[in-house]
Amino acid sequence: MEKAIEKNHNEKTSSIGKRFVLWVALPLLLVLIIVLAVLSFSGINVFEKAEEIGLKIPFISGQTEETENRIDSSELVALQGQIKDRESQIEQLENTIIEKDQSIAELQQEIDQQSLIIEELREVQADNKREFNEVVATFESMSSKNAAPILIEMDEFVALQILARVDEETLASILENMPPADAARFAQSLTVFIPNE
């Protein structure tokens, strides 16, 4: 009886195994084959994808933590080298900026000095113009008899500037009191003379 029970038990176990193969394993295998065929026809290399996924799994890839640490440390050294290169580039750029700032400061200082010189020259020019206007006013207030001989003895260019600035009535009176040759020379020069404003 025990043999019958054992035989019956063996038959049930083998029948369960056969059922599993027929109803679960074979359909799964068939589906897997169909999926592989479809993916291959669509241009996806399933074996490469499986290898990539396998490399990411620690026990399947064959890499240990020690190899990963070695890779990480070599990457770390490379990154530290890049950082040092970048730092030296930054330092060079900062030095260039400092040099440019110094050169800009020097140029600005030179511009300021030139501006002061220009301002001083303008003041001198304004003083000279004011003084010259005073000289012209003096000749306008003088009698023509006294002004004519003085203008004849002065530098011709300066005398022409003065004569060009006095009013027409004073000019006519001064030219009348000059010898005819000098009056003619001054009158001729005044026709082409353009006074500085």
Identify the burial level of 194 via C-beta atoms within 10 angstroms of its C-beta, where 0-12 means exposed, 13-18 middle and 19 or more buried.
Answer: exposed
User: Is 132 inside a domain boundary?
Assistant: no
Q: How many domains does the chain have?
A: 3
Same domain, 46 and 89: no
**What is the rounded CA–CA span in Å between residue 28 and residue 178?**
135
pLDDT tens per residue across all 197 residues of the chain: 566 566 555 666 667 777 777 777 778 888 888 887 887 788 777 777 777 776 676 655 555 555 555 667 778 888 888 898 899 999 999 999 999 999 999 999 999 999 999 999 999 999 888 988 888 888 888 888 888 898 889 898 888 888 888 988 888 888 899 999 988 888 888 887 665 55
CA–centroid distance for 189 within its chain: 58
Same domain, 178 and 159: yes
Q: Quick one: which of 160, 165, 164 has its CA closest to 185?
A: 160
User: Is 11 inside a domain boundary?
Assistant: yes
**String of b and e for 162-176 (b: at least 16 CB within 10 Å)?**
bbebbeeebbeebbe
Is this model's pTM higher than 0.75 or not?
Answer: no
pLDDT digit string, tens, across residues 160-183? 888 888 988 888 888 899 999 988
Range of the domain at 171: 142-197
Same domain, 5 and 57: yes
User: Is 105 inside a domain boundary?
Assistant: yes
Measured in residues, the chain has a length of: 197
User: Is 86 inside a domain boundary?
Assistant: yes
**String of b and e for 92-117 (b: at least 16 CB within 10 Å)?**
eeeeeeeeeeeeeeeeeeeeeeeeee
